[in-house]
């Protein structure tokens, strides 16, 4: 059977780092099995869903290199939910309820006060037809709940958590439809998974109780549930859930000039027993992707670690992959020279100024000025001008180490550190290099 996974964001905001990780892992799960990865836009909430967020989701996934094999939109599938609802209603698995939010909150408080779990008491399920008619005659429109079967425990073999078991009597019958007729998450999601042939649902552990409920929905609709796996949630580097993670998305990554390959490399293994490494080759990441490596402990997202991974990824990038993002005139040789000094590609511009100038030279001692004047005179341009220059000066002055190299670097670049001078000096060029040495 072909493995089919799905990523199902609501277009009510931008993707954040937690969404991105879920999308990536579902894509990897499908890719590893030679299956299909589907994008499902959960836009049943007409008031909060916005089309520009749909476009943003597609753009962000494309930027990350996560390509869906198909796309569905819940707003175009209402007839499927209606049909499933009517069948469940006919078999008694959904029922109308008339309590207001205030009444439900009061019930919860009473239950908590008595030391009982705050689950719905199913009072509406036992209403007679006459009592229901009376409610509706008062103008009270019902919301609808799915009736859980309390007879057997709900169990499944979770791909991350192992054997999972729930007592349905300890769960509330979930509301699946509001009084205005609009849908909540639970039933449409199950209907879509059946219709789209989804075989594997990989999502955050905050959905575990939803899975217990939805397993009964699949059964009630005559379908076998997909395989479920629930990964640990992300936390900040302090070990706590961070509101910042909820706003950390592709826009903020792009603003920081973080490479998509770095985000993928980090999130691919975050929360697993495998080390986070700067692996740009997705085939290599896919080769080691395995749900058995996923842990139960919260996965810690650290911005500093992302920066380290990003720097290492940049050091691997070839010229063809960055040429369009480099300053005018910067060729492959220049990229090769400057690349080891970069943490982000956009830093190339400031390093390129070492070549194009102008540079600001420090004040030199009289001894160093005489040394640099001599350097300007003996500079010879050949295959390796830096080696020729330093060898000549070493022999004629007796200087070595820092005394030999640092004044030359400072005069030629205005800096105490930077790219390898053997690669940089040919980029500066003979005329400019001689002029800089002379002016120092």
pLDDT tens-digit profile of 182-222?
Answer: 999 999 999 999 999 999 999 999 999 999 999 999 999 99
Determine the average pLDDT of the residues in 405-413.
97
Could you tell me the pLDDT band of residue 434, with boundaries at 50, 70 and 90?
very high
Contact 1, 227 (CB under 8 A): no
What does the DSSP 8-state code read for residue 16? B
Q: What is the pLDDT of residue 337?
A: 96
Q: Measuring CA to CA, which residue among 418, 372, 414 is closest to residue 397?
A: 372
Work out the pLDDT band at 243, boundaries 50, 70, 90. Answer: low
DSSP code, position 417 = S
Gap between the Cα atoms of 15 and 340, Å rounded: 32
Q: Note the pLDDT of residue 351.
A: 95
The structure tokens 């003996």 sit at 378
- DSSP H/E element including 314: helix 303-314
- Mean of per-residue pLDDT scores for the chain: 95
* Residue 177 β-bridge partners: 144, 183
d(CA 163, CA 175): 27
- The pLDDT value given to residue 321: 94
Residue-wise pLDDT for 272-284, tens only, equals 999 999 999 999 9
For residue 145, the cross-strand partners are 95, 175
**How many other CB atoms are there within 10 angstroms of residue 404's CB atom?**
16
Q: Quick one: pLDDT band at residue 56, thresholds 50, 70, 90?
A: very high
| Residue 402 labelled as part of a binding site | no
pLDDT higher than threshold 80 for residue 244: no
Distance from C-alpha of 36 to C-alpha of 6, rounded to nearest angstrom: 8
Distance CA 188, CA 236 (A): 32
Angle between helix axes 260-269 and 51-64 (nearest 10 degrees) is: 90
Look up residue 310 and give its two tokens. 């990003």
| Confidence label for 241 from pLDDT (cuts 50, 70 and 90) | low
Is 3 in a helix, a strand, or coil? coil
- Percent of the chain topping pLDDT 70: 99
pLDDT at residue number 179: 95
User: Among 244-248, 329-333, 351-355, 433-437, which stretch is predicted with the lowest mean pLDDT?
Assistant: 244-248
pTM for this structure? 0.91
Q: Rounded distance, CA 39 to CA 8, Å?
A: 6
CA dist., res. 170 & res. 159, Å (int): 23
- Give me 68's structure tokens: 């869906």
Task: Report, in angstroms and rounded to the nearest whole number, the Rg of the chain calculated over CA atoms.
Answer: 32
Angle between helices 260-269 and 17-32 (to 10 degrees): 80
Nearest to 404 by CA among 390, 425, 392: 390
CB atoms within 10 A of CB 357: 13
What are the chain's domains? 91-177 (3.90.800.10), 325-440 (1.10.10)
Tokens of 295: 């842990």
Report the pLDDT value the prediction gives residue 149, as an integer from 0 to 100: 97
Q: Please compute the mean of the pLDDT values over residues 128-140 and round it to a whole number.
A: 94
Cis upstream peptide for 11 (omega within 30°):
no
Token reading at 61: 């996934």
């Amino acid at each position: 059977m072909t493995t089919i996974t799905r990523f199902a964001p609501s277009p009510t905001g931008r993707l954040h780092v937690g969404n991105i990780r879920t999308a990536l892992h579902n894509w990897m799960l499908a890719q590893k099995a030679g299956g299909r990865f589907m994008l499902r836009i959960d836009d049943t909430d007409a008031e909060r869903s916005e089309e520009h967020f749909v476009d943003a989701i597609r753009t962000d996934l494309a930027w990350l290199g996560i390509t869906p094999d198909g796309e569905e939109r819940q707003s175009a599938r209402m007839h499927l939910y209606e049909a499933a609802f009517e069948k469940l209603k006919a078999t008694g698995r959904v029922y109308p309820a008339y309590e207001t939010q205030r009444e439900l909150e009061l019930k919860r408080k009473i239950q908590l006060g008595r030391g009982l779990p705050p689950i719905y008491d199913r009072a509406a399920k036992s209403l007679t037809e006459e009592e229901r008619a009376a409610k509706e005659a008062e103008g009270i429109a019902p919301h609808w709940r799915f009736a859980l079967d309390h007879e057997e425990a709900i169990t499944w073999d979770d791909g991350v958590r192992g054997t999972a078991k729930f007592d349905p009597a300890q769960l509330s019958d979930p509301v699946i439809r509001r009084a205005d007729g609009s849908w909540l998450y639970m039933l449409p999601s199950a209907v879509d998974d059946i219709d789209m042939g989804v075989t594997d649902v990989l999502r955050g552990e905050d959905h575990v109780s939803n899975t217990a409920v939805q397993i009964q929905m699949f059964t009630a609709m005559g379908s076998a549930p997909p395989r479920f796996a629930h990964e640990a949630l992300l936390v900040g580097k302090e070990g706590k859930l961070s509101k910042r993670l909820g706003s950390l998305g592709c826009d903020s990554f792009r603003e920081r000039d973080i490479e998509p390959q770095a985000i993928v490399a980090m999130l691919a293994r975050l929360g697993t027993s495998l080390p986070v490494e700067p692996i740009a080759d997705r085939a290599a990441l896919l080769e080691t992707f395995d749900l058995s490596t996923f842990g139960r402990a919260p996965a810690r997202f650290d911005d500093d670690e992302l920066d380290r991974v990003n720097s290492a990824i940049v050091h691997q990038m070839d010229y063809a992959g960055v040429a369009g993002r480099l300053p005018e005139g910067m060729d492959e040789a220049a990229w090769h020279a400057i690349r080891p000094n970069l943490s982000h590609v956009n830093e190339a511009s400031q390093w390129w100024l070492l070549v194009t100038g102008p540079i600001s030279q420090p004040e030199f001692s009289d001894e160093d000025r005489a040394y640099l004047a001599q350097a300007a005179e003996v500079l010879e341009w050949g295959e390796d001008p830096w080696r020729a220059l330093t060898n000549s000066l070493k022999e004629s002055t007796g200087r070595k180490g820092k005394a030999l190299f640092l004044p030359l670097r400072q005069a030629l670049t205005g800096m105490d550190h930077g790219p390898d001078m053997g690669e940089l000096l040919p980029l500066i060029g003979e005329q400019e290099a001689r002029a800089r040495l002379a002016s120092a």
